[in-house]
Homo-oligomer: A and B are copies of this chain.
Amino acid sequence: MNISDLRRELDLDHAAQEIYQFAAELYPICRSITGNGFRQTLSQTQSHIPLTLYEVPSGTQVFDWTVPREWNIRDAYVKNSQGDRVIDFQKSNLHVVNYSIPVHQKMSLEALKPHLFTLPDRPDWIPYRTSYYKDSWGFCLTHQQLLNLPEDEYEVCIDSTLEPGNLTYGEYYLPGETADEVLISCHACHPSLANDNLAGIAIATFLAKQLSQIARRYSYRFIFIPATIGSITWLSQNEDRVDNIKHGLVLSCLGDSGKSTYKKSRRGDTEIDRAVLHVLQHSGQEFEAIEFFPYGYDERQYCSPGFNLPVGCLMRTPNGKYREYHTSADNLEFIQPIYLKDSFAKCLAVFSILEHNKTYLNQNPKCEPQLGKRGLYRAIGGTSGSGVSEMAMLWTLNLSDGQHSLLEIADRSGSEFDDIKKAADALIENDLLKELL
């Protein structure tokens, strides 16, 4: 069974339900770039795929950066003088500024205010804030909550620890026929945010699960990492292996209702760029292609000039481009199975191109071969008995001069890759095409 069989046989609706379900299971966990929330996320991922977990000690130098202390949190609240929790970490982990240092003291509203963050123009949403690299603490709350806070003496408690420990990441390596590999990277460091991390995590998990069950031409490496520091750590620890990476995708924001967006690799015209764009162009849906820029997700690191890897980023609505971004409104309603399904299917279509995109040599390059005597030619305009498009065969023969891969033939002819692939298969079977080695 190869990826074409998989794509034909897979029940995508069922897969989408599982993906959504898995995202929902992970939703309540208070993740951060280190700590038990991240470990818990990987542990639940292990119920689907046998992730290997790596622990990198705080203080480890990773290129220009240092692995930070590990952060863990048990509870956090602001209590009023009646003892009511007016801000309660138990209700939403977004209420605490991520990486807040421990605090426990009483203070006036005035003293507390500089530590409170709201979204005045979205008075019902809790913002998501972090302070990874500067010791501080704070609470996030809805603006409505803030307006309702009277003058009072408040008990402020963040029961967190920020101590030497480890940065954790998970990796799942699927060996293929060749050591050349496809890297799939997703960040898993955001707490209760659905589109901006759970969608990517859940889709990556089920892609890995499916790919593990089929014959693979490429090796695939799935990594689940904290954003920025995670990819920097991974690259630092795996520097000698990055040459194997022939194609890569960062997955994020894949569950919202927006159109698909592909941010190209820094090189801009690598095979992964062309494969993703081919899939989007033939999706029958609107999509957006954007040029690389050195901001966004972990493609920033993979595409730093010292690596310059062929890694793009597949999203639906990009980070920062939807209002729910980094707020409590990026929740389980904001992502939907139908969109996860579409994103998942597109990823499989991309992998299918990568798996099948070879370059062939026309074995009868002088004039066209006589397709009719081989039963490959019924009537132009139609399809041969085997469902293979004759135009696709003619294109594949004409361009299989050793200079054009099947994807290039598909793009130049305006055909879908799958049609060109089918044509190539029919021609190979008739000894009219041979792989260029």
Contact of A306 among B64, B236, B293, B365 (CB under 8 A): B365
Report if A373 contacts B (CB, 8 A). Answer: yes
Tell me whether A305 and B133 are in contact (CB under 8 A): no
- Chain A window 64-105, contacts with chain B (Cβ cutoff 8 Å), 1 for yes, 0 for no: 110000000000000000000000000000000000000000
Report if A264 contacts B (CB, 8 A). Answer: no
CA distance A88 to B72 in the complex (A): 95
Q: Which of A236, A364, A368 has the most CB of B within 10 A?
A: A368
Q: A373-B133, A397-B294 are in contact. Are A368 and B306 (CB under 8 A)?
A: no
CA distance A362 to B64 in the complex (A): 12
* One of A8-16, A35-43, A398-406 at the interface: A398-406
Tell me whether B366 and A239 are in contact (CB under 8 A): yes
Report if A369 contacts B (CB, 8 A). Answer: yes
* One of A51-59, A152-160, A295-303, A331-339 at the interface: A295-303
* Chain B residues near A303 (CB-CB < 8 A): 398
A291 to chain B: closest residue by CB: B412
A301 to chain B: closest residue by CB: B367
Tell me whether A235 and B367 are in contact (CB under 8 A): yes
Report if A359 contacts B (CB, 8 A). Answer: no
* Chain B residues near A231 (CB-CB < 8 A): 367
* Chain B residues near A134 (CB-CB < 8 A): 372
Query: What is the copy number of this chain in the assembly?
Result: 3
A374 to chain B: closest residue by CB: B64
- Chain A window 300-327, contacts with chain B (Cβ cutoff 8 Å), 1 for yes, 0 for no: 1101111110000000000000000000
Report if A380 contacts B (CB, 8 A). Answer: yes
CA distance A181 to B401 in the complex (A): 25
* Chain B residues near A295 (CB-CB < 8 A): 380, 391, 394
**Would you give the shortest CB distance from A129 to chain B, in whole angstroms?**
11
Report if A370 contacts B (CB, 8 A). Answer: yes
Tell me whether A305 and B401 are in contact (CB under 8 A): yes
Tell me whether A364 and B399 are in contact (CB under 8 A): no
Tell me whether B394 and A294 are in contact (CB under 8 A): yes
**Would you give the shortest CB distance from A277 to chain B, in whole angstroms?**
19
Q: Which of A62, A231, A294, A401 has the most CB of B within 10 A?
A: A294
CA distance A134 to B81 in the complex (A): 97
- Chain A window 394-421, contacts with chain B (Cβ cutoff 8 Å), 1 for yes, 0 for no: 1101111100000000000100000000
Contact of A300 among B64, B364, B368 (CB under 8 A): B368
CA distance A65 to B362 in the complex (A): 16
Contact of A294 among B301, B305, B370, B395 (CB under 8 A): B395
Tell me whether B304 and A398 are in contact (CB under 8 A): yes
Report if A266 contacts B (CB, 8 A). Answer: yes
Contact of A64 among B235, B294, B370, B399 (CB under 8 A): B370
- Some 16 contacts from A to B, beta carbons below 8 A apart, are A63-B364, A63-B366, A63-B367, A64-B367, A64-B370, A236-B366, A294-B391, A294-B395, A294-B398, A295-B391, A295-B394, A300-B398, A303-B398, A304-B365, A306-B365, A307-B367
